[in-house]
């Protein structure tokens, strides 16, 4: 017997579960379908982000950061340690606990908001009588129907041609998060967010890490000044980064992985490593969705085609998150999920793509919102720039982490903030002030005239705003 709902969400990642909760809050009879399983075969909602992405990577980054501090920084504080060691199994166990807490938290939120949960893979069957029939394949097969469907099926890691993931030697983000012991040597193909974060984790724990990047520039999407500072910091830490390489072949055997490549000068090179992380981007996931059954239109990348409001080519079928255009960020998916639920309810849901923050959780952290200096130059926009180094910030000195700076870009005529770029301690937290400011069309002077607590890292934000008009107080 069919289960009838007002709204069915396919996918329980950040976009999906948030969309389901918001739809339920707005009074719709809502269901969410998700197939992720835990090690016992039970439901594990939260998608890539919770299970093999944002959350577990932050757990490992925290553990590895503690280890590095204990090995290198504690002595400066008068703290002595003997026989420092790392129990990788325990570290991974803690990570798994953090993941489970998030999984369980989502299931609790479904109950709290009266969202019906189906554990399995959702796929379209047919459209009939103004409703869509969806099959749930899993341990408990089911059939559901709904007037409105929100597709939030996320993305998959992209493999190198000829080198499929085995999650033992050739690793996606999934395998990179559960390496059972610290490898002596680790290769990373791709210097994007995942590659740098995972490379950082295992470098801190003692691995010799080499990053191979095809592009001639490091972190090309990041403000050039920030990218340069980050590259300097990573190199100083011992992370070997090679740019402009061309991968020729990847071969795995019992001993590890051998990568043959041409360097930036075209010379043939070989990299032999114990483990290889491939981080060359992600592809929209429509596997098993059976989009063709209802005529759901995909683009040439395999993403679901949507308009500015996340409407597909089908009436009352919506799509959000990694499976559609735009940045593959969990918080972008969440915002789209909320907006779609509100649009279904006749409200005016809104997502401002110009104020979506980006974060790379390395050490130093990198965070930004808005336009980069190179983008403004390319557009011919007249702007002012101001920056302030953490070296001149009292709280950063007390932390013992003075790498990096805060940088403001503002319109030359109106002083409106056009972009804020941070590399340094707790950049992920500091960027929120800039997001709020830009959302409310603030000027650099607005931030410069706001009282910030002392001593705090946020004073660097105020000082960078002051620097736009060349009137810093502490530098």
Q: Please give the positions annotated as active site.
A: 454
Contacts of 371 (CB under 8 A, 6+ apart): 379, 381, 409, 418, 419
Compute the distance between CA of residue 388 and CA of residue 150 in angstroms, rounded to an integer: 44
* The residue to which tokens 């940045």 are assigned: 327
Residues 6+ apart with CB under 8 A from 450: 462
Of the candidates 206, 269, 225, 208, the residue with the CA atom closest to the CA atom of residue 243: 269
Question: Which residue, 455, 393, 461, 457, is CA-closest to 421?
Answer: 461
Q: Alpha helices of 168-217 — where are they, by DSSP H?
A: 173-176, 193-204
Query: Where do we find the tokens 């300097």?
Result: 232
Length of the chain: 475
- Which residue in 472, 193, 221 sits closest to 370, CA to CA? 221
* DSSP letters for 167-187: SSSEE-HHHHTT-SS--SEEE
Structure token digits, residue 368: 């930004």
Omega prior to 364 cis, within 30 of 0: yes
């Amino acid at each position: 017997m069919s289960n009838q709902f007002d709204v069915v969400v396919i996918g329980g990642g950040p976009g999906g579960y948030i969309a389901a909760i918001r739809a339920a809050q707005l009074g719709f009879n809502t269901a969410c379908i998700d197939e992720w399983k835990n090690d016992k075969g039970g439901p594990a909602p939260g998608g890539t982000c919770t299970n093999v992405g944002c959350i577990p990577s932050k757990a490992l980054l925290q553990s590895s950061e503690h280890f590095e501090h204990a090995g290198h920084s504690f002595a400066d504080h008068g703290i002595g340690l003997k026989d420092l060691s790392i129990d990788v199994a325990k570290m991974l166990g803690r990570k798994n606990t953090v993941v489970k807490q998030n999984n369980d938290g989502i299931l609790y939120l479904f109950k709290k908001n009266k969202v019906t949960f189906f554990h399995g893979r959702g796929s379209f069957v047919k459209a009939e009588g103004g409703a869509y029939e969806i099959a749930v394949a899993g341990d408990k097969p089911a059939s559901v129907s709904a007037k409105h469907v929100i597709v939030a099926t996320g993305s998959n890691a992209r493999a190198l041609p000829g080198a499929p993931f085995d999650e033992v030697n050739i690793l996606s983000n999934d395998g990179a998060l559960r390496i059972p012991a610290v490898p002596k040597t680790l290769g990373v193909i791709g210097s994007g967010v995942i590659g740098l974060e995972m490379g950082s984790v295992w470098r801190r724990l003692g691995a010799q890490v080499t990053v191979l990047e095809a592009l001639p520039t490091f972190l090309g999407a990041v403000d050039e000044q920030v990218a340069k500072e980050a590259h300097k910091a990573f190199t100083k830490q011992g992370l070997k980064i090679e740019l402009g390489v061309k991968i020729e072949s990847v071969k795995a055997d019992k001993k590890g992985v051998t990568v043959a490549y041409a360097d930036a000068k075209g010379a043939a090179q070989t990299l032999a490593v114990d483990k290889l992380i491939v981080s060359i981007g992600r592809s929209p996931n429509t596997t098993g969705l059976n989009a063709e059954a209802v005529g759901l239109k995909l683009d040439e990348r395999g993403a679901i085609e949507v308009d500015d409001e996340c409407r597909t080519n089908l009436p009352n079928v919506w799509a959000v998150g990694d499976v559609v255009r735009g940045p593959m960020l969990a918080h972008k998916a969440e915002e789209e999920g909320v907006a779609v639920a509100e649009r279904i309810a006749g409200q005016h849901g809104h997502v401002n793509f110009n104020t979506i923050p980006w974060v790379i959780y390395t050490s130093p952290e990198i965070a930004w919102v808005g336009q980069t200096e190179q983008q403004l130059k390319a557009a011919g926009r007249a702007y002012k720039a101001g920056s302030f180094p953490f070296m001149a910030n009292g709280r950063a000195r007390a932390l013992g982490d003075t790498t990096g700076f805060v940088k403001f870009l503002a319109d030359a005529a109106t002083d409106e903030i056009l972009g804020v770029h941070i590399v340094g301690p707790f950049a992920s937290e500091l960027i929120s002030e800039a997001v709020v400011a830009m959302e409310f069309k603030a000027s650099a002077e607005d931030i410069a005239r706001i009282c910030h607590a002392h001593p705090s890292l946020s004073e660097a934000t105020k000082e960078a705003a002051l620097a736009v008009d060349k009137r810093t107080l502490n530098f």
